[in-house]
Structure 1
Amino acid sequence: MDMSQYLELFIEESKEHLQNLNENLLELEKIPEDMTILNEIFRVAHTLKGMAATMGFSKMATLTHDMENVLQEIRNGKIKVNSKIVDLLFQCLDALEDYVDKIINTGNEGSNTYSDIIKTLNTVFESRGSISTETALSEKKEDKRIDKMEGLELDEYAQNIINKAVNMNMNAFSITIKLNKSCVLKSARAFIIFKTLESKCEIIKSEPKVEDIEDEKFDFEFTVVLVTKESLSTLEKELKGIAEVDDVIIKPLSFKELALQPDDQKLADKPVKMIKQQEEATDDGDEKAQNQTAKPRTGKTVRVDIDRLDNLMNLVSELIIIKTRLEGIEVTDINQNYGEAVEYMERITTSLHDAVMKVRMVPVEMVFNRFPRMIRDLAKELGKQITLNMYGSETEVDRTVIDEIGDPLIHLLRNSADHGIEMPQKRLAKGKPQHGTINLKAYHDGNNVIIEVQDDGAGIDTEKVKTKAIERGLVDKEMARSLSQKELVEFLFRPSFSTADKVTDVSGRGVGLDVVKTKIEALSGVIEVETEREKGSKFIIRLPLTLAIIQALMVILADEKYAIPLSSIREIVNIKAEDIKLVQKQEVILLRNSVIPLIRLNKILDIPMDNKAESEQITVVIVRKGDKLSGFAVDRLIGQQEIVIKSLGKHLSGIRNIAGATILGDGQVALILDVNALAL
């Protein structure tokens, strides 16, 4: 059977299960005695084993099988959960993630068998404690009985089910499957057989028990009893088509042939769906009711390829451009119907845009959920005690932003763990709890999403930053004295700037915060820092909700039209030429007792301008970059407009001061100004 068609589904589900495993292992480390968590970990390992075996990934299946052995002994109380066991399970998690990554990149699980981890798992399993002689003998006796057993004994309830099935013209079979003696993963092959049967039948009982088959506690054959609508020949053909199945013996069953054994193994709690559906259909006699009863309940979510969403977004973008163009057409004789049609189209387009945006929105949890494990490992590596609290994981942001924000957050969290949080002894000496705390928070603020990384560590030593800045020649001693705390903190975002006394595996090379700033500004975001000595630091990231369609203010410089993102604009003012002052050769204006630098866009963008009288009023757009304000001098304002951000293409990428372009209603192209690059 060709399993390649299921590869994408396998990868997606494996990622979900591995994330679940990661979260539960972190919880198990905190509450080792919690059986609910342990059972969930066992369930995930068991599911992964079955999925991997079905897909033919034998190394992954072997690893999860050995994990199951250890987990089962923990559940039985024969192995105690301690830090070494948790570390071992985390190593298994890392190995499984490596297998999945290789499957994503190459389509196979690679050559690494992780024999050292498997050896450790087997050592832990084998040394769990001795089994009594009486138990061992009984197990051997039971295995011997199973090997020689020729038939099955069922309880009264199972017999009644088969009797009903036969009365409803269904078939009841006893099927013995014999595997090839060279079969390495017997349980994996049995899993495929069970999945094949469950798609067409309802299994009533198996010998050995399903749990024993999963744990490979059987020879090379097992027997199942089932009811089905399928014929004997159909089942035989299906089963013999499975690899490593040597022989299939199918025996039809009837009520009279079965011996009554009420003390035998009881059936599972779940109802036999096929019989129940048949009964409901017969009693009702309505074909429609029969179809509804047999139809499985469908899920409320679907997985959609991101490329399809991008294509849908592009189509919506084109629709918005056409809508803008229609609004701008000057029609001499506009009748009422035309005006109403345009208004209706505008409402529909806006609703469609909102709907598409909601589809593209994903919770930041997708990024956040990788950090608890990272902080745990970092704390162990650094010899610190760190608690990570996460808030607002359900906050949604555009998928394009999610894909890019992970690396900056990793840098900030590692920075807090290494530079911020002190060693336990130092914290106790300062009167702090020995456990350091890092808070990761996300929330919406208008059309932006705010992400904060806050720690209760030592804070940023601005005097040390000042000394390093002077040593590197970034500022002289005289000017350094006049710098504010915020200005000193800005040095940390310079390339290769670090205050660490020594380089470690975690940090100290000065390649962290400058990367963070570059990445965030590339997303049209800003980063701010608040810090207090011995109290801690807070890094605040402000990002747009989406990078596709935004509200913008259209302005004119000479004969060119430009767009300024509305989310960056604080206000618009008109000033006179005589109100402009010079401070250290920089033009500034005074607005409500605040000194704001004035930026002549025509000079920066090299736009030829007509000479204007100095007494003429100047229109200034006040923009915000973090907590700083700047004023952009423009010729005229056109107004607010919804624009579609288009890339400039690879030949024009990286042009400073320009964030992209948009197509206007009249077909003209307007450039979008990069506020982060232009603002002082």
Structure 2
Amino acid sequence: MSFDGDEEILQDFLVEAGEILELLSEQLVDLEQNPDDSNLLNAIFRGFHTVKGGAGFLQLDALVNCCHSAENVFDTLRNHKRKVTSELMDVVLETLDNVNAMFEEVRQREAPTPAPQELIERLDQLALPEGEAAIHSAAPVSADQGDITDDEFEQLLDALNGDETASAPASETGVVSPVASGNDDINDDEFEALLDQLHGKGQFAGVPAALAANKETVAETSSAQPTDISDDEFEALLDQLHGKGGSPTGAVAAESTAPASAKKPEPAKVPIAAKAPAEPAQVKAKAPTREAAHAAAETSVRVDTKRLDDIMNMVGELVLVRNRLQRLGDQSADEQMHKAVANLDLVTTDLQAAVMQTRMQPIKKVFGRFPRVVRDLARSLKKEINLVMHGEDTDLDKNLVEALSDPLVHLVRNSVDHGIEIPAERERAGKPRVGTITLSAEQEGDHILLLITDDGAGMNADVLRRKAVEKGMYDQDGADRLTDQECYNLIFAAGFSTKDQISDVSGRGVGMDVVKTKISQLNGQLSVVSKLGEGSSIVIKVPLTLAIMPTLMIMLADQSFALPLVNVVEIFHLNLSKTNVVDGRECVVVRDKVFPLFHIKRWLIRGGAGSVEPENSHVVIVSMGTRQVGFVVDQLVGQEEVVIKPLGRGLLGTPGMAGATITGDGRIALIIDVPSLLQHYS
């Protein structure tokens, strides 16, 4: 299938329909919880209707047919002729899956694969009022059944109108019959009026009269200004056609009965005056606002994400130059130099914030898929679960939105499977049958805090200790010395699982270790909080952006290193002669808390293991989740924003290194990956 001729229309369709389909997934799950919400039913109906209309412009017949069948179901539901049930929602959600699959094929410039005929037939059955026969004997001819010829169309008109209609004056019928006039061509107004006659006077009575009465007004409107309508006006027309409890049956039938051989209308040239069945004054009142709507539409442009990435990279380079000039300015006594560098710093900071803002997306892009995930998994596991989401409008870098998608899905699925108990078990424990999973996001400084909380059974530290011994991760003595918090963190170990039976959901011990690795790659932290019998929480902390990272610059011997500021808890000066040894490991006690000490120079600097340590040194307390340790460093340089550069081929995969950067004095500094460093060396 070729889209070359309609590329601009296709791009608009992909943007608009993509947003609608994302929203439909949430709305459908919400509808199952609130089956009597008429506003929600109307919104879902309009969603399918709008996607169908856009697909019709592009002649995507498979997509049109599927959306049309779904639309009919919701027409029946919103007119209270059928009730929302879980079985009905299973069919509708399966339909949405097929629509999404076809939409993705269109995005790839491929012809959409039609939905299974069995699914369409099930939708058609659900579109019938409850208790009615499966097949309408008087169903109108549909465009889906094939095109009709001109002769067949004329015969149909003759049969409907009869001799009386053919001889009736135009003033009585409101329509100029092509048979009576001897003219084979009919205009848009006449065609619309004929369609209304095809489907009876009970649908939109008075349309022909309104068209006849306002014929001159329509002509004036058409000649005085272009027939383009804005998105708002189009939605208003949809509301007039389908809103406020009215049935869209007539309009839908008119669409399906129109000959498929008719010329495809121009997408921005909809004859709105002929379409409006009622309230012509409202449509006319909206006409003067077209120019304003058109001007508003021009305030936004579509930009390729690669171009934004390139701009962000250039801003990163500018940050490095800024850092270099700041260091040189500190060494200069020239006051004008100081002012110029200060101005550059201000402009660079503002530019960096502005460019980052263009890359920001709401985390709702990720959260939007979870209602469906929880709903489907809960039904398969025979559980009753309510999903609550907070902070969906929290913004973060688009790359992070994409990178967090899979880890969060796995964590949510894990909460459904491992966390929430079956209803009978919850009742025995004195809990409500319906479990609750809460997903929240909030900004905390230059980081995003994500929490996945459930009110399930919680984790049993003793069970985790036993599993760790069974899998050979610890001996019994070592497992007994693990704190409860350390036991909870065992779930992130590779191959660790508390499930006795393997299912298609979990039980193989893979996944959680991948989640931890992915979060670490994003320079984030992952930790678990749990209480037996009350539930568990997974806490994730990730930076707002991956492009530019705030760090603490340190010196080991004469080499610069950068510690991500997200890992730094506190810094203090230490007399190394006052340390303690616990279980063979050097430790320091600060405010009654014990921190293991690591001389990272012995790991990272050649010859560092044999060097003489000074009596006094600096200690940087760093955290990985709930664990905190102390790094002994030679010198503290200060805080600096750095641009992460990938390591060269010779250093790629070096343990404990996340990348490299250029410091303010022009030297190269390695960026330390704290979890990887400790895992490899300690």
1:16-415 aligned at under 5 Å gives the runs 16-104=19-107, 106-125=108-127, 128=130, 144-145=160-161, 150-151=176-177, 152=190, 158=211, 161-164=214-217, 170=223, 212=250, 214-216=252-254, 266=278, 268=280, 270-272=282-284, 277=288, 296-298=295-297, 302-329=301-328, 335-415=334-414
3-state secondary structure, aligned to 1:144: helix
Q: Following the alignment from structure 1 to structure 2, what is the Cα–Cα distance between the partners of residues 592 and 42? A: 62
Q: Following the alignment from structure 1 to structure 2, what is the Cα–Cα distance between the partners of residues 421 and 332? A: 61
Cα deviations across residues 521-551 of structure 1 (Å, max 9, x unaligned)?
Answer: 1111111111111111111111112211122
Task: Kindly state the Cα deviation for residue 582 of structure 1 after the two structures are TM-superposed.
Answer: 2.6
Question: Does structure 1 conserve the Cα–Cα contact (< 8 Å) formed by 2:556 and 2:605?
Answer: no
Question: Does structure 2 conserve the Cα–Cα contact (< 8 Å) formed by 1:528 and 1:541?
Answer: yes
Structure 2 residue aligned with 1:228: none
3-state secondary structure, aligned to 1:460: coil
Specify whether residues 34 and 614 from structure 1 end up closer, same or farther in structure 2 by C-alpha distance, changes over 3 A only. Answer: closer
AA aligned to 2:17 is S
Cα deviations across residues 139-177 of structure 1 (Å, max 9, x unaligned)?
Answer: 9999823997644487776556543566799389xxxxx
Q: Following the alignment from structure 1 to structure 2, what is the Cα–Cα distance between the partners of residues 38 and 299? A: 32
Count of residue pairs the alignment pairs up: 604
Task: Kindly state the Cα deviation for residue 662 of structure 1 after the two structures are TM-superposed.
Answer: 0.9
Specify whether residues 123 and 431 from structure 1 end up closer, same or farther in structure 2 by C-alpha distance, changes over 3 A only. Answer: same
Query: Which moves more between the two structures, 528-537 or 601-610?
Result: 601-610
AA aligned to 1:120 is R
Task: Kindly state the Cα deviation for residue 76 of structure 1 after the two structures are TM-superposed.
Answer: 3.1
Task: Kindly state the Cα deviation for residue 214 of structure 1 after the two structures are TM-superposed.
Answer: 3.6
Q: Following the alignment from structure 2 to structure 1, what is the Cα–Cα distance between the partners of residues 374 and 563? A: 39
AA aligned to 1:71 is F
Q: Following the alignment from structure 2 to structure 1, what is the Cα–Cα distance between the partners of residues 292 and 229? A: 24
Specify whether residues 632 and 155 from structure 1 end up closer, same or farther in structure 2 by C-alpha distance, changes over 3 A only. Answer: same
AA aligned to 1:29 is E
Specify whether residues 434 and 337 from structure 1 end up closer, same or farther in structure 2 by C-alpha distance, changes over 3 A only. Answer: same
Q: Following the alignment from structure 1 to structure 2, what is the Cα–Cα distance between the partners of residues 387 and 573? A: 46
Task: Kindly state the Cα deviation for residue 36 of structure 1 after the two structures are TM-superposed.
Answer: 1.5
Question: Does structure 2 conserve the Cα–Cα contact (< 8 Å) formed by 1:143 and 1:218?
Answer: no
Q: Following the alignment from structure 2 to structure 1, what is the Cα–Cα distance between the partners of residues 299 and 219? A: 37
Task: Kindly state the Cα deviation for residue 328 of structure 1 after the two structures are TM-superposed.
Answer: 2.5
Q: Following the alignment from structure 1 to structure 2, what is the Cα–Cα distance between the partners of residues 265 and 168? A: 17
Task: Kindly state the Cα deviation for residue 103 of structure 1 after the two structures are TM-superposed.
Answer: 2.7
Q: Following the alignment from structure 2 to structure 1, what is the Cα–Cα distance between the partners of residues 264 and 208? A: 32
Scaled by the length of structure 1, the TM-score of the pair is 0.80
Structure 1 residue aligned with 2:527: 528
Question: Does structure 2 conserve the Cα–Cα contact (< 8 Å) formed by 1:60 and 1:109?
Answer: no
Task: Kindly state the Cα deviation for residue 265 of structure 1 after the two structures are TM-superposed.
Answer: 5.6
Q: Following the alignment from structure 1 to structure 2, what is the Cα–Cα distance between the partners of residues 7 and 651? A: 46
Cα deviations across residues 108-139 of structure 1 (Å, max 9, x unaligned)?
Answer: 244353212112112333575559xxx96999
Cα deviations across residues 465-490 of structure 1 (Å, max 9, x unaligned)?
Answer: 22221111111122222221112222
Structure 1: runs of 5+ lacking an equivalent: 173-192, 224-238, 244-249, 254-263, 281-290
Cα deviations across residues 434-484 of structure 1 (Å, max 9, x unaligned)?
Answer: 111111111122222111111111111222222221111111122222221
Query: Which moves more between the two structures, 403-412 or 619-628?
Result: 619-628
Q: Following the alignment from structure 2 to structure 1, what is the Cα–Cα distance between the partners of residues 64 and 508? A: 41
AA aligned to 2:656 is N
Cα deviations across residues 61-116 of structure 1 (Å, max 9, x unaligned)?
Answer: 11111112222222333333222222111111111111122333x32244353212
Q: Following the alignment from structure 2 to structure 1, what is the Cα–Cα distance between the partners of residues 354 and 312? A: 10
AA aligned to 2:641 is E
Q: Following the alignment from structure 1 to structure 2, what is the Cα–Cα distance between the partners of residues 115 and 344? A: 66
Percent sequence identity over matched residues?
34
Question: Does structure 1 conserve the Cα–Cα contact (< 8 Å) formed by 2:394 and 2:441?
Answer: yes
Q: Following the alignment from structure 2 to structure 1, what is the Cα–Cα distance between the partners of residues 28 and 109? A: 28
Q: Following the alignment from structure 2 to structure 1, what is the Cα–Cα distance between the partners of residues 398 and 629? A: 30
1:485-564 aligned at under 5 Å gives the runs 485-564=484-563
3-state secondary structure, aligned to 2:41: helix
Q: Following the alignment from structure 2 to structure 1, what is the Cα–Cα distance between the partners of residues 309 and 382? A: 45
Query: Which moves more between the two structures, 614-623 or 17-26?
Result: 614-623
AA aligned to 2:283 is P
1:473-488 aligned at under 5 Å gives the runs 473-488=472-487
Specify whether residues 477 and 643 from structure 1 end up closer, same or farther in structure 2 by C-alpha distance, changes over 3 A only. Answer: same
Specify whether residues 110 and 165 from structure 1 end up closer, same or farther in structure 2 by C-alpha distance, changes over 3 A only. Answer: closer
Q: Following the alignment from structure 2 to structure 1, what is the Cα–Cα distance between the partners of residues 550 and 139? A: 77
AA aligned to 1:576 is N
Question: Does structure 1 conserve the Cα–Cα contact (< 8 Å) formed by 2:363 and 2:401?
Answer: yes
3-state secondary structure, aligned to 2:361: strand
1:581-592 aligned at under 5 Å gives the runs 581-592=580-591
Question: Does structure 2 conserve the Cα–Cα contact (< 8 Å) formed by 1:558 and 1:608?
Answer: no
AA aligned to 2:124 is N
Cα deviations across residues 568-594 of structure 1 (Å, max 9, x unaligned)?
Answer: 222222222312333233222222222
Structure 2: runs of 5+ lacking an equivalent: 142-155, 167-174, 178-189, 194-206, 242-246
Specify whether residues 300 and 531 from structure 1 end up closer, same or farther in structure 2 by C-alpha distance, changes over 3 A only. Answer: farther
Structure 2 residue aligned with 1:674: 673
Q: Following the alignment from structure 1 to structure 2, what is the Cα–Cα distance between the partners of residues 397 and 293? A: 32
Task: Kindly state the Cα deviation for residue 221 of structure 1 after the two structures are TM-superposed.
Answer: 5.4
Specify whether residues 88 and 156 from structure 1 end up closer, same or farther in structure 2 by C-alpha distance, changes over 3 A only. Answer: closer
3-state secondary structure, aligned to 2:82: coil
Cα deviations across residues 202-253 of structure 1 (Å, max 9, x unaligned)?
Answer: 9xx99xx996464356755599xxxxxxxxxxxxxxx96879xxxxxx9xx9
Structure 2 residue aligned with 1:451: 450
Specify whether residues 138 and 65 from structure 1 end up closer, same or farther in structure 2 by C-alpha distance, changes over 3 A only. Answer: closer
